[in-house]
Amino acid sequence: MCSSRFALVGSFSALFLLPRPDAHGGFVQSYQATGNVGLYSSAVSTNSPNSISGSFNLSQLPSGATIQKAFLYTADWWQGSQPQVQLTINTQPVAVTPATASDTPIGPLSFPTLTSYRWDLTTALSLLPPAPFLFSITSTQSNPQLTAASLMIVWSDPSAPLSTVTIVDGAQQVGELTQTSPPTSDTESINFTGLPAGSTALTLFTVSDDPFGTGETVRYNGGTNHGPLDGNLGNVASLLQFSDTSVAGSNGLVITSSQDYFGWVASASVVTPAAAVPEPGSLTLLAIGMLGSLVGLRRRRQQ
């Protein structure tokens, strides 16, 4: 189990044994675009779970690119009444967003519910200059467990290669089924659908994972292990970015944890198919045929 996770929710420890109804979260494919598009992804974490604040840098987008879709994510762990979260951008409040998804864990123990939140900031960020902007997120619950926030921007630019960008998001607890005796692991997965085949850049955003309970495996279509996560945003969250290959149609991304307990909030893929070699047209074939005839005729005259 995640040691820092239990440190963050220490005041909840007496409540963990209370019975809760079984429910399980999941993911939905919330956005997909094909064209001269790309993805900017970044994340900020905090060691003080009462709130999250920091900045994201819009100048990291290609010069002249247009923001086609922008999602900001966070998540909170809670028991009792579901909290609301408040986002501000450059000190200006953004309308309160309803929860995107919730996951009450299954298994023999009763852990808190994980709820994810997503703001669609497409219009708001399109009005900002290509420079860093400040943000802050707070929760209405008395003991919030806010550990990280992630920004994913789908941008378009005529000079970019033809690609397909897909975003899948929701709320999924990973690791609540693990135990040491007998040793067991917990595996969760998502699917990207409607993809072309080709080289793929992947992004995976998790909260409340850490480098103490480690050994997670991350596999795309059952291939190379791109794990572990190891809290690469500090000790409380990860933004894992790696490259792999997609097949045409449905592609699966899987996390298996045997020690750590954390939340999976969002993932994205950018597939860039290899440039197709155009088939020769009929005029090209005719020209090649005529050239071959002339070469053959010249050889016969020289004999």
Q: What is the pLDDT of residue 294?
A: 44
- Weakly modelled stretches of the chain, pLDDT under 50: 1-23, 277, 282-288, 291, 294-295, 297-301
Place of tokens 């969250």: 237
pLDDT digits (tens, 9 = 90+) for 189-204: 999 999 999 999 999 9
Tokens at 80, concatenated: 């009792």
Q: What is the pLDDT of residue 188?
A: 94
Q: What is the pLDDT of residue 22?
A: 34
Annotate 6-25 with b (16+ C-beta within 10 A) or e (fewer). Answer: eebbeebeeeeeeebeeeeb
pTM, two decimal places: 0.83
Work out whether strand 148-156 and strand 132-139 pair parallel, antiparallel, or are unpaired: unpaired
Q: What is the pLDDT of residue 111?
A: 76
Q: What is the pLDDT of residue 222?
A: 97
